Every structure is written in C-alpha cells, then in structure tokens.
C-alpha cells in the first residue's frame, strides 16, 4: 500500500523547484461546543500524499539541488490522555502506511525547520511552500494559514508560495488504489439504494427512507460522503434539499442523491424512483428524457472530450426532449428546468479539485443530468460515476438500476 503514497510524493516533489521547503498539515479538530469536537476530517492533500489521517501531523519536505529529505512530525500523547482517548499512531504504523521513515515529535518541529530555513544564524533555504488554497475563508481558517502568518514573522527574508495546485492537479488522474476505493464506496451506496427502494412503500416521511441508507452505511462501518438528499415531490426541485422531513404525497417520486466513503474516497450517486414502485405516465416521460441524456453523455465521455462540449451537449439533449414533449418551445427555456452542470470530478472530495479543459484517461467524473419542474411536482436526477479511459469510459455505477422497467420490477417484487 505504501508504494502508492511514495509514488505520489515522488510526482509531487518533481513539481517543486530545488532549494525549497514544503509543509503540509493534516489539520486540527474543529470545536463543536464547550469540550466537544466535530469528528476529525483530514486535509485531503495531506492524505493524498501520506495515507495518514490523524490530526496534528506535519509532513515536511526539504528539496535541495541533488537530494531531498522527508520528515513526519507527530504529537506525543501523555499516558493519562491515552487512558481517555487511546493511543496515537506509532512510528512503525506511520512507516507502514506512508513509507515515511523520519518520524519526529512535534516538539522538534520548530528546531528542525529552523535548521533549514535561511536566517541570520543558520539555514540556506529561502522558499517555503504551503498548502494554501487561493480563496481564503476568514471564518474557516486552515492551520496552514496560522503557520504561514507565524513563519512570515519569524522569517522575514523567506519567499512564501502555495503548493495547493501542485497536489490538486496530480489528484485529477486517479491511480489504481483510488479507483478501487471509489468502486467500493459505490458498491456500498448501491446496497443502500436497494434498501431504500425496498422499504419506501412502508414509509410516511422522507427521513424514514433516508434512514435505510444511513443504516446500510453503518453496517459497513462507514459514513455519508455528503448529507443525504432524500427529496419527494416539489422538494426534489431544490438541488441540495437536505431537510428530508416532509410527508410523502400519493404518487410521488423520490429523488435520492447520496454517497459513502471508502478510505476517504467518495461515491456520488443519484437515483429517482416512485414511492410505490410505479411511475405515472408524465413521470415516465420526463424520466426518460433525463435517462436518455445520462446514457448518451456517458457514451460521449472519453480522453480528449472537452468539458465545454460535455455541458453544452447535455443541455441540448434535455432541451430537445422538453421541446418534443411540448413543455418548452425554445432551447433557452431549458434552463428554467435544468440549473446545474452535468458533472464534476470525483475523488477525495465529492466535488473534487484540479483544473482542466479536456477529459483525460484516469479522471473520474459524474454524469448527472436532471430536470426540475415544480408545476408538475417533479424533480428527477440520474447520476453515475464514470472513469475516463483511453478509448471511452467505464460506468463504475452501472450496476445500480435506472431503467424504468428495472425499477418497477425490482420495487414490485422486493
Ligand atoms: N451530491 C452533489 C452533487 O451531485 O453534486
Ligand atoms: Mn454530483
Ligand atoms: Mn450527487
């Protein structure tokens, strides 16, 4: 396993100039209230490079002209604290997961960093790279920003640069381990969706259907990759409806947009099905437009296909369907009923990072056309997770049923 992380770091290190220091922090727990913290979520760039997911870890890289050296700093935990919250990862665990050999106490961090950074007394390296995204939310500061400010005061003659995009751009192309993790997350999601479909007819409220999804994840010792959307009727026309607290009306469709995590990798799937397992005629017609678009766009995805065309062609297909059905007359009216993009990158983040204009083999992208027609109480989205290959694409979620007759049959016979 550690070979993957060593390999990613080698690629990352190659993107940096000689004569610099790079620092990435795993992050710190965020306080919820008084002495309670939120569950810790590791910084995704840090995880990508190390495979480690404890709080208060620092990865340090020293890149010279003809050598590089890596360090990992970890907090030492007192025996008394271990009695309350258990031990931290040991040196050999860190080596086994990440391949990082030089493990030091956090107490040594300032001293080791100081021995490399240029100052009046010691050090020669005058550039430091930090994991800082461009847009900075003043109410949600990263520990990296705290250190950036601290180090700027201590080392006024050092250049500060961001390594954020260096890592994000590597994250665009997934390796075998990442794809395996995404597939495992999709497989758990599939089981959860089946449970929702099986049990929907006996539920009165959206949250009851949602509970079958969350239950399935718990059975697999995992959690949602984002807050589950379980929206019926007109609620499904709100893209990120998360309340899930409405009572079902008769003949309603249920739009579920949900995902799970496997080793921090996300699935992101949407399925829409009728509560009692039978679509009305109008629901079928709108559903079929979205389904055709989803299937056509998956066929178009391949290495070299442009992102702009992906968006434009999806909107064209949806518009054509609505014009044929007499719901709209002109192409531009489609945006009254379709108001999001057809896909985004997927990986360690649900809306994954990295900049690109053209799809490349190894990317994983969602294909999620939708139509939202409040006057008909209809919101439909069908979302699959697609791996781009050299010759085309592989639908990683193809086993999650989406044809009208498959859904009706499954829900009738389960
Ligand atoms: N679940 C959010 C999205 O599909 O983008
Ligand atoms: Mn999505
Ligand atoms: Mn989604």
pLDDT tens-digit map of 62-105: 999 999 999 999 999 999 999 999 999 999 999 999 999 999 99
* The pLDDT value given to residue 134: 78
Domain residue spans of the chain: 2-170, 176-413
Q: What angle do CA 89, 95, 99 make, to 5 degrees?
A: 140
**Residue 74 · residue 54 · CB < 8 Å:** yes
User: Under DSSP, is residue 112 helix (H, G, I), strand (E, B) or coil?
Assistant: helix
Q: b or e along 319-334 (b: 16 or more beta carbons within 10 Å of the residue's beta carbon)? A: bebbeeeebbeeeeeb
Instruction: Tell me how far the alpha carbon of residue 6 lies from the centroid of ligand 2, in angstroms.
Output: 30
Instruction: Tell me how far the alpha carbon of residue 105 lies from the centroid of ligand 2, in angstroms.
Output: 40
* The pLDDT value given to residue 157: 87
Q: What angle do CA 333, 335, 336 make, to 5 degrees?
A: 75
Alpha carbon nearest to ligand 1 atom 4, residue: 268
* The pLDDT value given to residue 48: 98
Ligand 1 site, residue 368, Cβ cutoff 6 A: yes
Please state, in angstroms and rounded to a whole number, the distance separating the CA atoms of residues 324 and 105.
67
Please state, in angstroms and rounded to a whole number, the distance separating the CA atoms of residues 190 and 193.
5
Pocket test for ligand 1, best of 228, 241, 270 (most atoms within 8 A of CB): 270
Q: Which among 350, 382, 373 is positioned nearest to 264, based on CA atoms? A: 350
Residue reference for tokens 């709209």? 328
**Residue 225 · residue 190 · CB < 8 Å:** no
Pocket test for ligand 1, best of 268, 339, 369 (most atoms within 8 A of CB): 268
2-170 CATH fold = Creatine Amidinohydrolase; Chain A, domain 1 (3.40.350)
Alpha carbon nearest to ligand 1 atom 5, residue: 351
Ligand 1 site, residue 257, Cβ cutoff 6 A: yes
* The pLDDT value given to residue 136: 66
Please state, in angstroms and rounded to a whole number, the distance separating the CA atoms of residues 268 and 366.
7
Instruction: Tell me how far the alpha carbon of residue 379 lies from the centroid of ligand 3, in angstroms.
Output: 14
Which residues of the chain have a pLDDT value below 50? none
Report the length, in residues, of the chain.
Answer: 414
Alpha carbon nearest to ligand 1 atom 3, residue: 268
* The pLDDT value given to residue 270: 98
Instruction: Tell me how far the alpha carbon of residue 8 lies from the centroid of ligand 1, in angstroms.
Output: 27
3-state secondary structure 25-45: ECCCCCEEECCEECCCCCCHH
Alpha-carbon separation of residue 222 from 28, 61, 181, 304 (angstroms): 21, 32, 12, 35
Ligand 1 site, residue 178, Cβ cutoff 6 A: no
Instruction: Tell me how far the alpha carbon of residue 341 lies from the centroid of ligand 2, in angstroms.
Output: 9
The pTM (predicted TM-score) of the whole model is 0.97
| Ligand nearest to the backbone CA of 365 | 2
Roughly what angle, to the nearest 10 degrees, separates helices 281-300 and 404-413?
120
Q: Which among 391, 333, 334 is positioned nearest to 361, based on CA atoms? A: 391
pLDDT tens-digit map of 123-166: 788 999 999 987 767 778 889 999 999 999 999 889 999 999 99
Q: Which atom number of ligand 1 is nearest to the Cα of residue 257? A: 1
**Contacts of residue 260, Cβ cutoff 8 Å, sequence gap at least 6:** 185, 188, 189, 192, 217, 220, 222, 223, 224, 225, 266, 267
Radius of gyration (Cα) for the chain, nearest Å? 24
Tokens of 147: 């250190």
Pocket test for ligand 1, best of 210, 294, 339, 344 (most atoms within 8 A of CB): 344
176-413 CATH, one of 3.90.230.10, 3.40.50.720, 3.40.120.10, 3.90.1150.10: 3.90.230.10
Instruction: Tell me how far the alpha carbon of residue 284 lies from the centroid of ligand 1, in angstroms.
Output: 23
Q: Which among 251, 290, 257, 260 is positioned nearest to 271, based on CA atoms? A: 257
């Amino acid at each position: 396993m550690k070979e993957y992380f060593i390999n990613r770091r080698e690629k990352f290190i190659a993107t940096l100039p000689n004569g610099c220091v790079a620092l990435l922090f795993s992050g710190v727990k965020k306080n919820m209230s008084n002495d309670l913290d939120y569950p810790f979520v590791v910084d995704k760039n840090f995880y990508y490079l190390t495979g480690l997911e404890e709080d208060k870890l620092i990865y340090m890289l020293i890149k010279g002209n003809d050598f590089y050296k890596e360090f990992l700093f970890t907090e030492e935990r007192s025996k008394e604290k271990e009695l309350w919250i258990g031990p931290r990862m040991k040196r050999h665990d860190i080596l086994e997961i990440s391949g990082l050999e030089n493990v030091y106490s956090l107490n040594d961090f300032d001293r080791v960093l100081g021995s490399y950074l240029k100052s009046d007394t010691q050090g020669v390296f005058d550039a430091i790279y930090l994991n800082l995204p461009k847009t900075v939310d003043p109410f949600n500061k990263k520990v990296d920003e705290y250190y950036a400010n601290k180090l700027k005061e201590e080392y006024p003659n050092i250049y500060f640069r961001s390594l954020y995009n260096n890592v994000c751009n590597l994250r665009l192309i997934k390796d075998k381990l990442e794809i395996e993790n995404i597939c495992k997350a999709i497989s758990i999601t599939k089981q959860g969706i089946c449970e929702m479909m099986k049990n929907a007819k006996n539920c009165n409220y959206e949250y009851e259907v949602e509970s079958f999804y969350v239950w399935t994840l718990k059975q697999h010792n995992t959690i949602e990759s984002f807050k589950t959307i379980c929206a019926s009727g007109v609620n499904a026309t709100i893209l990120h409806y998360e309340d899930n607290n409405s009572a079902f009306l008769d003949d309603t469709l249920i739009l579920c947009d949900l995902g799970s995590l496997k080793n921090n990798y996300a699935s992101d799937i949407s399925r829409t099905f009728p509560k009692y397992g039978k679509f009305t005629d109008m629901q079928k017609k709108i559903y079929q437009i979205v389904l055709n678009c989803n299937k056509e766009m998956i066929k178009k995805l391949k290495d070299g296909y442009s992102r702009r065309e992906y968006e434009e062609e999806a909107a064209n297909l949806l518009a054509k369907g609505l014009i044929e059905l007499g719901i709209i007359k002109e192409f531009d009216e489609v945006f009254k009923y379709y108001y999001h993009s057809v896909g985004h990158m997927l990986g360690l983040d649900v809306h994954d990072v990295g900049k690109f204009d053209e799809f490349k083999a190894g990317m994983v992208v969602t294909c999620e056309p939708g139509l939202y027609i409040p006057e008909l109480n209809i919101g439909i989205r069908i979302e699959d997770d697609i791996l781009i290959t050299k010759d085309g694409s592989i639908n990683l979620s193809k086993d999650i049923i989406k044809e009208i007759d498959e859904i009706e049959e499954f829900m009738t016979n389960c």
